[in-house]
Amino acid sequence: MNQGVQRISYLDSMRGVAAFSVLIYHFMFSLDNFNYWQGKTVQHWLSCVFNGSDAVSFFFVLSGLVLSYRYFNPPQESIQIHYKKFIVQRLFRIFPAYIVMLIGSFLYAHREELSLAFIYEAVFLHDYQFVQEIILFRNYASLYTPGWTLSVELVMSFLVPVLVIIIYKAPRTFAYLIPISILLSAFISAFIFHFMLGVWLGKNYKRIQEYAFNQSSWYRFRYLIYILVLAFLSIRHIDRVYPLENIYYYPNHYLGLDFFHVTGLASFLILCKAINDSTWQRILNFSLFRFLGTISYSIYLTHWFVIFYLYVPQPKDIAGLLGLSDHIYQAGFIFCVGITLVLSIVFYYAIEQPFNRIGKSIARRLNEQAESIT
């Protein structure tokens, strides 16, 4: 494995834009607590633009791409898998900031009843729910609802080196396994489909980058393709306005095809476009997008706490604090975005960055014999 591979900044930017869309989506979702939308379909159409519910599909495909890219680029006669080092770096990448956020959520939620006895009882005597949530492996989310996505991210990412070996040794077999993974959704996580798509992108990155799309037979249909991709990405929200009924029911009921599979495919195609389109890459390399990419994980971690722990219980107080008592929801938006960004910057520099360095330092010291795959 080439240790000198640089991060691809425009992909980080795409993660940042997706994380910010999750923030906006969950803020819109929080307004249901105040009956703001009153059943209006505009909520669902806005959700097609700020599609936080399906940004997780994008995150998982992107993770498969980013985690596998380094094994294939630049091309080599063999690849080396340092599995223990990979695991250590993933643990230090995901856990520290998540643990701080979860503990902070717990302490804030129970701030009026805190005592050592209460903490002991809540953590160790109530079916170990807090322990299950903090270790992520049980896919249990109570205090921090988006934690289920981190469970998927952590466990599925452990399979990436295995998927890398399969696609390296048997690329055609790997391609067959991608649709087969949909049929296996009842037995394993549906999201292995997303990570497999991402690994395929990592393996074929150069081919996609060099593909002359504007000279292909597909180019004349490009606008139709773009519309279909956006429709696939928004299919969950379109279904809420125009129910798909049997169009979705039969594939879902008999084949296990889920909306997440459809949005995963859309995310895959969007990433293909980004890899192939230098104009997209130049735009995504603007400083604002790169900044969002840098703090994207912290945005994802902190926004739920800001919206549902700080804002939703006291919207009028926050509006008054900002001098916008007559504009409660606008004040809420400003508050949630502003506080989330501030917390994200603090989290990144105080927690994420230092622990990433520690994880890399520990990984370098591991005396591991690499698994060489030829």
One digit per residue, the tens of pLDDT, for the chain of length 374 reads: 444 445 799 999 999 999 999 999 999 999 998 989 988 899 999 999 999 999 999 999 999 999 999 999 888 888 889 999 999 999 999 999 999 999 999 999 888 888 888 888 877 776 667 888 999 988 888 889 999 999 999 999 999 999 999 999 999 999 999 999 998 888 889 999 999 999 999 999 999 999 999 999 999 999 999 999 999 999 999 999 999 988 888 888 888 889 999 999 999 999 999 999 999 999 999 999 999 999 999 999 999 999 999 999 999 999 999 999 999 999 999 999 999 999 999 999 999 999 999 999 999 888 766 666 76
Q: Is residue 232 a contact partner of residue 263, using CB atoms and an 8 Å limit?
A: yes
Residue entry with tokens 């990979």: 86
Residue 295 buriedness (CB in 10 A; 0-12 / 13-18 / 19+) = buried
Length of the chain (residues): 374
pLDDT of residue 1: 40
Domain map (residue ranges) of the chain: 9-366
How far is the C-alpha of 109 from the C-alpha of 300, rounded, in Å? Answer: 19
Q: What is the pTM (predicted TM-score) of this model? A: 0.93
